[in-house]
Structure 1
Amino acid sequence: MTMHVAVVGAGLIGRGWAMVFARAGVSVRLYDVDAAQLGRASERIATSLQDLHQAGLIDEEPEAILARIECQPELARALVGVAYVQECGPENVAVKQAMYTQLEAAVEARTILASSTSGIVASQFTGHLAHPERCLVAHPVNPPYLVPLVEIAPSDATSDNTVERTMALMHQVGQEPILVAKEVQGFILNRLQGALLNEALRLFRDGYVSAEDLDKTVKHGLGLRWSFMGPFETIDLNAPAGVVDYAARYGPLYRDVDTQRSEANPWEDETLQRLDSERRTVLAADQLAERQVWRDRRLMALMAHKGQQPIV
Structure 2
Amino acid sequence: MTVVTKYEDGLCLSLLGNLFHAWHRVGRLDDTTYFLQVVGCDSTWRCKQHQQQQHSQHQSSQHRESNMTSNEKIGIVGSGFIGRSWAMLFASVGYDVCMYDVQEKQVSDALQEIHRQLTNLETTGLLKGKLTAAEQKKCIRGVTSLKECVQGAKHVQESVFEDLEVKKKVLTEIDQLVGPETVVASSSSCIPPSKLSADLAHKANVILAHPYNPPYYVPAVEVVPAPWTSQDVVARTRAILTEIGQVPVVLTREHPGFASCRIQYAILNECVNLVKSGVISVQDVEALMKHGLGYRYAWMGPLETAVLNANGSDWPTPQKEQDLGFLCGWDASESPCQI
- Structure 1 pair 35–199 and aligned structure 2 pair: CA distance change class (3 A): farther
Partner of 1:184: 255
Asked if the contact 1:238/1:246 (under 8 Å) is kept, the reply is: no
Equivalent runs, 1:34-183 vs 2, <5 Å: 34-58=103-127, 59-183=130-254
Equivalent-residue separation in structure 2 for 1:156 and 1:84 (angstroms): 20
Equivalent-residue separation in structure 1 for 2:83 and 2:238 (angstroms): 19
Matched to 2:215, the amino acid is P
DSSP-derived class of the 2:192 partner: coil
Partner of 1:302: none
Equivalent-residue separation in structure 1 for 2:286 and 2:121 (angstroms): 27
Asked if the contact 1:134/1:159 (under 8 Å) is kept, the reply is: yes
Partner of 2:285: 214
- Structure 1 pair 73–55 and aligned structure 2 pair: CA distance change class (3 A): same
More moved, 26-35 vs 16-25 = 26-35
After TM superposition, give the deviation of residue 248 of structure 1 in Å.
4.4
Partner of 1:18: 87
Number of corresponding residues: 248
- Structure 1 pair 6–216 and aligned structure 2 pair: CA distance change class (3 A): same
Matched to 1:186, the amino acid is G
Matched to 2:259, the amino acid is I
Asked if the contact 2:188/2:210 (under 8 Å) is kept, the reply is: yes
Q: Which runs of 5+ in 2 are unaligned?
A: 1-68, 321-339
1:193 lines up with 2:255 in the alignment: no
After TM superposition, give the deviation of residue 230 of structure 1 in Å.
0.8
After TM superposition, give the deviation of residue 132 of structure 1 in Å.
0.8
TM-score by length of 2: 0.69
After TM superposition, give the deviation of residue 69 of structure 1 in Å.
0.7
Matched to 1:232, the amino acid is L
Asked if the contact 1:85/1:113 (under 8 Å) is kept, the reply is: yes
Matched to 2:245, the amino acid is G
- Larger relative contact order, structure 1 or 2 (CA cutoff 8 Å, min sep 6): 1
Equivalent-residue separation in structure 1 for 2:281 and 2:80 (angstroms): 33
More moved, 217-226 vs 90-99 = 90-99
After TM superposition, give the deviation of residue 209 of structure 1 in Å.
2.8
After TM superposition, give the deviation of residue 247 of structure 1 in Å.
3.3
Equivalent-residue separation in structure 2 for 1:171 and 1:85 (angstroms): 16
- Structure 1 pair 206–38 and aligned structure 2 pair: CA distance change class (3 A): farther
After TM superposition, give the deviation of residue 226 of structure 1 in Å.
1.1
| Paired-residue identity, % | 38
DSSP-derived class of the 1:86 partner: strand
Equivalent runs, 1:275-290 vs 2, <5 Å: none
DSSP-derived class of the 1:64 partner: helix
Asked if the contact 2:187/2:211 (under 8 Å) is kept, the reply is: yes
TM-score by length of 1: 0.75
Q: Which runs of 5+ in 1 are unaligned?
A: 252-312
Matched to 1:202, the amino acid is N
DSSP-derived class of the 2:179 partner: coil
DSSP-derived class of the 2:91 partner: helix
